[in-house]
């Protein structure tokens, strides 16, 4: 540290002594009491030569005195520049780096870092190591405040003040490489299931729920794929919102090899079923037809196959599992007509006799399928 006196500080005073004081002329002293005894360290003065005018202390005398006060850590040049190698016992450099910052390079040593680059963040170097600069990804010099748990892979939302808020869920795209399989009761689909495939597996009917579309993160375009891979009907029911224009959507039973899937897509208020009008299998199986006599111009009792998920608007496809034309009741000359129709969760087929004579059919099995 360096400083220069342009005039004598008030602490340095020239004091005229009486001729009775027996000190050498021009002597620099550091204390004097009113009685002439040496006491205290509050005054600097110069002994006047008897009979002569007062003289000023030389810079050498001042330097010697100041150096003694600072335990030899400071010097004074003939130009009046005071240079101190230490401040409060800590070594201070004679000069620093322009654009750098001072730092403690040791417990009692102060040094200067290298020049720091403009507009880059300062990074601490640790004990005894100079600070340095980091990097930034953009061109802003502003800092932001973050709130919420900062989780690896999650997105960040920006509020109206420019603060970054943890989103609490992953960014767009598939959030899990492995689809989630749920075997419990009434699985609640949550915001974090965005873009996931949820396999619903339960032998009994269930009511999985969807959150209110308005509460979702990135609610306009949020979607989930739900697939039923077991026999139980999965009636997907949103909270507050509708799905496909209705209060719920019945996802029929399926299997691991033939899952029944639907995409539920939010518009920020309600859910759409996408893709609309896609045809997929609701139910299939075989059905043994009756062998009781069917009178002319009548229909027999319907044979029924349980088919969870089938609704009255579904269309049934019926086919023989072999050539029926050699089987009684289905001969070309006396053939019963098969009339299929759906009821809730069932496939029904009646044998109707359009001929003028009664027909007693032999056993026959047919294949049935319902597509939607």
DSSP states of 186-207 as a string?
S-B--GGGTT-EEEE--SS-B-
**Where along the chain do its domains lie?**
1-110, 140-171, 180-274, 281-371
Residue 186 CB partners (closer than 8 Å, separation 6+): 206, 207, 208, 209
- 275, 263 contact by CB (below 8 A): yes
Please list the rounded mean pLDDT of every run of 10 residues in the chain (372 residues): 44 37 45 41 44 54 64 66 76 83 87 87 88 79 76 77 74 56 91 91 94 91 92 93 92 84 93 70 89 96 91 92 94 95 95 96 95 77
Spatial separation of the C-alpha atoms in residues 200 and 210, rounded to whole Å: 13
Classify strands 271-274 and 334-335 as parallel, antiparallel or unpaired: unpaired
Q: What backbone torsions phi and psi does residue 225 show, to the nearest 5 degrees?
A: -110, 120
Spatial separation of the C-alpha atoms in residues 266 and 271, rounded to whole Å: 4
* CA distances to 117, 139, 208, 230, 287 from 259, in Å: 60, 50, 16, 8, 22
Beta bridge partners of 303: 349
What's residue 60's pLDDT?
64
For the record, the structure tokens of 221 come out as 């375009």
Spatial separation of the C-alpha atoms in residues 45 and 49, rounded to whole Å: 13
- The conformation of residue 7, written as its DSSP 8-state character, comes to S
For the record, the structure tokens of 254 come out as 């399926």
What's residue 56's pLDDT?
54
What's residue 149's pLDDT?
79
Give the angle 347-352-354 at the CA atoms, nearest 5°. Answer: 150
Residue 171 CB partners (closer than 8 Å, separation 6+): 153, 154, 155
What's residue 178's pLDDT?
57
Spatial separation of the C-alpha atoms in residues 307 and 309, rounded to whole Å: 6
Cα of 138 vs its chain's centroid, Å: 20
- 44, 20 contact by CB (below 8 A): no
Residue 141 CB partners (closer than 8 Å, separation 6+): 119
Spatial separation of the C-alpha atoms in residues 342 and 360, rounded to whole Å: 25
């Amino acid at each position: 540290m360096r400083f220069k006196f342009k005039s004598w500080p008030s602490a340095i005073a020239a004091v005229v002594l009486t001729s009775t004081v027996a000190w050498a002329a021009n002597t620099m002293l550091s204390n004097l009491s009113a009685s002439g005894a040496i006491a205290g360290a509050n005054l600097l003065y110069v002994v006047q030569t008897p009979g002569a005018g007062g003289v000023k202390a030389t810079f050498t005398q001042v330097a010697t005195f100041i150096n003694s006060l600072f335990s030899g850590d400071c010097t004074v040049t003939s130009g009046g520049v005071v240079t101190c190698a230490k401040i409060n016992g800590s070594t201070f450099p004679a000069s620093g780096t322009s654009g750098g910052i001072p730092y403690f390079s040791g417990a009692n040593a102060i040094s200067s870092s290298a020049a720091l680059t403009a507009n880059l963040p300062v990074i601490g170097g640790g004990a005894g190591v100079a600070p340095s600069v980091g990097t930034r990804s953009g061109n802003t010099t502003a800092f932001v405040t973050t709130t919420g748990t900062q989780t690896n892979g999650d997105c960040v939302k920006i509020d109206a003040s420019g603060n970054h808020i943890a989103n609490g869920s992953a960014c767009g795209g598939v959030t899990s490489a492995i689809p989630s399989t749920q075997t419990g009761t009434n699985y609640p689909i949550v915001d974090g299931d965005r873009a996931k495939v949820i396999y619903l597996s339960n032998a009994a009917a269930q009511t999985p729920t969807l959150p209110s579309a308005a509460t979702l993160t990135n609610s306009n375009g949020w979607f989930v794929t739900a697939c039923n891979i077991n026999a139980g009907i999965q009636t997907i029911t949103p909270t507050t919102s509708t799905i496909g224009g209705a209060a719920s959507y019945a996802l029929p039973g399926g299997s691991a090899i033939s899952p029944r899937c639907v995409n539920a897509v939010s518009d920020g208020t309600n859910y759409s079923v996408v893709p609309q009008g896609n045809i997929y299998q609701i139910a299939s199986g075989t059905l043994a037809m009756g062998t009781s006599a069917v009178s002319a111009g009548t229909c027999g009792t319907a044979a029924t196959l349980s088919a969870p998920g089938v609704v009255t608007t579904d269309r049934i496809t019926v086919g023989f599992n072999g050539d029926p034309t050699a089987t009684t009741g289905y001969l070309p000359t006396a053939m019963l007509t098969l009339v299929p129709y759906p009821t809730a969760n069932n496939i029904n087929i009646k044998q109707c006799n359009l001929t003028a004579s009664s027909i007693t059919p032999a056993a026959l099995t047919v294949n049935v399928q319902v597509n939607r």
